[in-house]
Structure 1
Amino acid sequence: MARLSTALLGAVCLATLSGQASAAPALSLDTMKNVTRELSSDAFEGRAPGSAGEEKTMALLQKEFSAAGLQPGNGDSWFQDVPLVQITAENVSNLTVSGGKENLSFAYGPDMVVGTYRVTPNIDVANSEVVFVGYGINAPEKGWNDYAGIDVKGKTVIILVNDPDYETEGLEGPFNGRAMTYYGRWTYKYEEAARQGAAAALIVHDTMPAAYGWNVVESSWSGPQHVADADNGHMDATKVNGWLQLEAARKILASAGQDLDTLTASAKRPGFKAVDLGLKASLSFDNDIEKQSSKNVVGILPGSKRPDEYVLYTAHWDHLGRCGADETGDDICNGAIDNATGTAALVALAQAHAAAGPAERTLVFLAVTAEESGLLGSESYAANPIFPLAQTVGGVNMDAFSMAGPAKDVIVIGKGKSELDAYLERALKEEGRVATTEPTPEKGYYYRSDHFSFAKRGVPMIYFEGGEDLVEGGHAAGRATAEDYTVHRYHGPKDEFNEDWDWRGTMADLKLYYRIGRELAGTSAWPNWVDGDEFRAIRDASRSAAD
């Protein structure tokens, strides 16, 4: 406890009245630095699930949560098992395309990346007919079906990334205009292709609508991949999921006498019909398969008055492990920003809440695994919750803190969706800051982090990022910093700890997370989604059953 008292030296003054933001105590910068530095060191090898880096992460978090004053959250255990299968594609052949103006061949890595969800030792797609299916969307409620009138069973489908109206300036349109819907996410596109019976689904990469460069695709999709363990071995999935470089896609369509830009323009309009390209695609690879049990880490601070009501803090501890080497030969994706910072925040917040004493409700600190593999750890918890979701009040998700310095704002992902916005507004008011809507809703961040696993089951979760309107340099400096991280560090070996980071903005944001969680845990209110939100009916039903 000496270490805890040193880290949180100073009086803690809390205001926990309903409707009033809770004053934040001294939050430990040393904890944030030390935990982030250690988790993102080369010794942790990028924290891939199932690796030696996971074992070190588990030991570190158990030690830190215990020292902070938390109790094990899963009975007597700090851990919740998350059954996974690690699949590593090996001996990947070139993707060959025949039957057009010329025979084409594309190399794994520079031209395309592929993998599979199927737990099987070999994948072979031979002479599969190729169909361009536009955005690959089947949305009956919107009267939109890119698969209408064509049978793609056993075929290879080429799919555009994002939604048809992502280039719209505003938020009005069949798919929410510039704001991505779930139909725009690559996860949905593979799921729908599988439902349609396709053998292979290849998404055309384009940096702007994808929101990241080819370097991110290549580093994220090469090497070991993880899927949730399933009784059927995911044999109902497509044989092949993957990405095509933009220029590779252009060549394929040109060989069929088609123009990618022309077809893309057509795919943006209602009534688009998929195009059989008259081509045949072939591809094969072997799979190294290893069944694993990864882990979520769960610590709690039991509530003093209503311990069976729960407030969540979530962050993912995992990253990519070893990935494509950079120009120096470094092949460890350390994940310092993404998401050693968020994991360190769980520890710092646990210290602060423990020092403040129990809140009325139970605070749950949940470090989840396999976020980078498709939110698998949070999905596993939400599908098999330790604490009932109907009794989970709500919470906050923390994923990648900004080191750009202090900002006048925070960027709320999904602003206006739930009543948790009011909690954030009260916390911001105490700090003289404001909440802004995300400037790039077309990137689909709402569907790309762990809050989504809970939101789609009705639990209100708030997720925000460091602001773009920097105290020093304003919006221009904020945009430049964000772009630099995305281009040069995100999902690459250069996302490493830097002793020269400016932590002022991170610590200011951490204070907001404390205030929101403390107020949620200190009231009897049950915040909901706003009327008309896609998750409102689910929450109403779960709360009605609980009452």
Structure 2
Amino acid sequence: MKTSLLSAAALSALTLAACTHVPDAATQSLDQLTGRAPTGDGMADTMVSDATAIAPPQLSEQTMKDVTRELSSDAFQGRAPGTIGEEKTKALMVQRFQQAGLKPGNEGSWFQEVPLVEITARDFSPLTIGGGKQALSFRNGDDFVAVTYRETPSIDLKDSELVFVGYGVNAPERGWNDYAGIDVKGKTVVILVNDPDFGTQSLDGPFGGRAMTYYGRWTYKYEEAARQGAAAALIVHDTAPAAYGWNVVESSWTGPQYLAQSNDKGADQTMINGWVQKPVAERIFAAAGKDMNALMQAARKKGFKAVPLGETASLSFQNDFSRKLSNNIVAVLPGARRPDEYVLYTAHWDHLGICKPAPDGDDICNGAVDNATGSAALVALAEAQVKAGAPDRSIVFLNVTAEESGLLGSQYYADHPIYPLARTAGGVNMDALSLAGPAKNLTVIGLGKSDLDDYLNAAARIEGRTPEREPTPEKGFYYRSDHFSLAKQGVPMAYFESGEDLVDGGRAAGAAAAEDYIENRYHGPKDEYDPGWDWTGVMSDLRLYYRIGRELAMTGDWPNWKPGDEFRAIRDETADQRAGQ
């Protein structure tokens, strides 16, 4: 989720101002703008291309409007993987990539098959809690949501012992194990969302202080619960540490769920993964005679011991499931001088499909902002890059599937790369471009992690904008979009949002717009195309994407992660594959 930049008049004035401070900025190289010497992957004398005079890009606002509007129309039925929406999306994106002048990106094909499993749960029993001071019963949707990652026609959890495991973290390198001293095999674990440092105002602490680590993500918590042998895992939803309301959980976790195919058909997973509303958890703890607030505080401290609640959970439901192939859409602009070196643009095309109806009966989650805008950006950037002529390196346009199901499409590409990741210089990810209005700043997710900061800073300076650290690192945005899949494999990836310091209304207006989107449209049927949108800020973002990608494609530099970064080691392991380039 993002925010954006200027009115046309303001942009014109700001561009002139930028040129006053940065003479001939549009034709300056990265090294001229940053004042740095050429660098590259720790290898001496790596040359930055002398062909880095980047003309102002020819980016089409009409393309952005047309592609976003069509992808988010009801005819695409919310673009769920494996549906008619996917087929329509593939046809449209290929048509637009062809018209732009790109080539098929996978050995003559526009597609990379991604094997998925679709599981749709139905016929839920109540979630019943026994063994406490009183029997409790909760309703699916209103009180809890639940799915299974197992390919099985039915799930029947009976009298499974409840255990509170704090944040559900097992991190030996940090000396932290919420599962120490307890066997949860066959039991149901109750887990807090985010990680133990949530609420800390600084960035100091065993889990990065205020900034969320991967240990705070729901994906990790379910993975660890399965490794521990739990029968079920229930995360307690709390809006602040989750960074979204229950409406987002309900819309995302009801209806079809998509998983990566596995050889054991999910047998190594828990029977049930789910969420419960915080008031539901409070009732469960109270019936167990436990002080939930006191236990939550205890869970934040090193040495916390899991607490059996003396209660049992029961839940059953049926599943409809099928194995199917979805697709990443892959296009390429071949490089003219070093076609075997690559730059990536990524964006996900999928959304939630048919979802919980809005009060007016609308049940299509159209995903206009999230992420028809990002897919449209791939097309607009392709058009501009082709018009600029073939760069030195090849530019790959990767429109991935199943991001909403846990980054499955980008993870599949990262595990089965079409182009060698060791020879991928870096890339830019685009996810939900903001239409809140023009902004003066931009928010960089993961600022300070890699050498791509230099590229972004140079592009932002030309555009007259100020890069800033994300104001809400506790929300874990770094782990919530497709750049993360590539970063885990060592590829430096830039990911930024437009910023909330709006030209009209400042930070207060930006924060209000972001909150309104999260509460009223994000992952819901009202994320729809609006013909009245102001695209000025989006186009400023697009110019940044263009310049970063173009510079990466024209330079001989090999950006790396900063020393000590979590992804540096895996990048360094492949340095010999770039040596001498």
Say if 2:402 is the partner of 1:370. yes
Q: 2:125 aligns with which of 77, 93, 98?
A: 93
Give how far 1:423 is off: 0.1
Say if 2:164 is the partner of 1:152. no
SS at match of 2:574: helix
1:307-332 CA distance string (max 9 Å, x none): 00000000000000010001000010
Report if the CA contact (8 A) 1:315-1:399 is conserved.
yes
C-alpha separation in 1, matches of 2:27 and 2:403: 34
Report if the CA contact (8 A) 1:17-1:522 is conserved.
no
Give how far 1:405 is off: 1.5
1:370-400 CA distance string (max 9 Å, x none): 0000000000001000001001110000000
Quote the residue 1:265 is aligned against.
Answer: 297
Aligned pairs for 1:187-206 within 5 A: 187-206=219-238
Aligned pairs for 1:198-347 within 5 A: 198-347=230-379
C-alpha separation in 1, matches of 2:165 and 2:537: 44
C-alpha separation in 2, matches of 1:189 and 1:23: 47
Quote the residue 2:389 is aligned against.
Answer: 357
Report if the CA contact (8 A) 1:16-1:523 is conserved.
no
Say if 2:203 is the partner of 1:171. yes
Structure 1: gaps spanning 5 or more residues: 1-12
SS at match of 2:346: strand
C-alpha separation in 1, matches of 2:230 and 2:578: 41
Give how far 1:18 is off: 5.4
Aligned pairs for 1:400-479 within 5 A: 400-479=432-511
Matched AA of 1:315: A
When normalised by structure 2's length, the TM-score is: 0.91
Q: 2:114 aligns with which of 77, 82, 95?
A: 82
Matched AA of 1:332: I
SS at match of 1:382: helix
C-alpha separation in 2, matches of 1:187 and 1:316: 18
Report if the CA contact (8 A) 2:30-2:458 is conserved.
no
Give how far 1:543 is off: 2.1
SS at match of 1:458: coil
Say if 2:153 is the partner of 1:141. no
Report if the CA contact (8 A) 1:20-1:519 is conserved.
no
Inter-CA distance 244–522: structure 2 relative to 1 (3 Å threshold): same
Say if 2:121 is the partner of 1:109. no
C-alpha separation in 1, matches of 2:252 and 2:32: 42
1:94-117 CA distance string (max 9 Å, x none): 111100000011110000000011
Quote the residue 1:19 is aligned against.
Answer: 31
C-alpha separation in 1, matches of 2:578 and 2:325: 32
C-alpha separation in 2, matches of 1:519 and 1:418: 16
C-alpha separation in 2, matches of 1:543 and 1:486: 41
Report if the CA contact (8 A) 1:17-1:523 is conserved.
no
Quote the residue 2:4 is aligned against.
Answer: none
C-alpha separation in 2, matches of 1:217 and 1:446: 19
Quote the residue 2:416 is aligned against.
Answer: 384
Give how far 1:24 is off: 3.1
Report if the CA contact (8 A) 2:423-2:577 is conserved.
no
Give how far 1:208 is off: 0.3
SS at match of 2:222: helix
Report if the CA contact (8 A) 2:332-2:397 is conserved.
yes
1:330-388 CA distance string (max 9 Å, x none): 01000000000000000000000001110000000000000000000000001000001
1:160-202 CA distance string (max 9 Å, x none): 0001111001111111011000000000000000010000000
C-alpha separation in 2, matches of 1:345 and 1:27: 9
Question: Comparing both chains, which one has the higher relative contact order based on Cα–Cα distances under 8 Å and sequence gaps of 6 or more?
Answer: 2
Say if 2:554 is the partner of 1:522. yes
SS at match of 1:410: strand
Matched AA of 1:507: M
Give how far 1:119 is off: 1.1
1:85-134 CA distance string (max 9 Å, x none): 00000111111110000001111000000001111111111110000000
Report if the CA contact (8 A) 1:16-1:522 is conserved.
no
RMSD: 1.1
1:277-331 CA distance string (max 9 Å, x none): 1111111111101111000000000000000000000000000001000100001
Report if the CA contact (8 A) 1:82-1:296 is conserved.
yes
SS at match of 2:525: coil
Q: Percent identity?
A: 67
Inter-CA distance 16–313: structure 2 relative to 1 (3 Å threshold): farther
Q: 1:493 aligns with which of 510, 514, 525?
A: 525
Report if the CA contact (8 A) 2:125-2:316 is conserved.
yes
- Which shifted more, 214-223 or 14-23? 14-23
C-alpha separation in 2, matches of 1:106 and 1:416: 45
Report if the CA contact (8 A) 2:194-2:215 is conserved.
yes
Matched AA of 1:278: G
SS at match of 1:339: helix
C-alpha separation in 2, matches of 1:184 and 1:140: 15
Matched AA of 2:541: D
- For these two proteins, the number of residue pairs brought into alignment is 535
Give how far 1:19 is off: 2.6
Give how far 1:240 is off: 0.3
Quote the residue 1:7 is aligned against.
Answer: none
C-alpha separation in 2, matches of 1:115 and 1:439: 32
Give how far 1:545 is off: 4.3
Report if the CA contact (8 A) 1:130-1:281 is conserved.
yes
SS at match of 2:128: strand
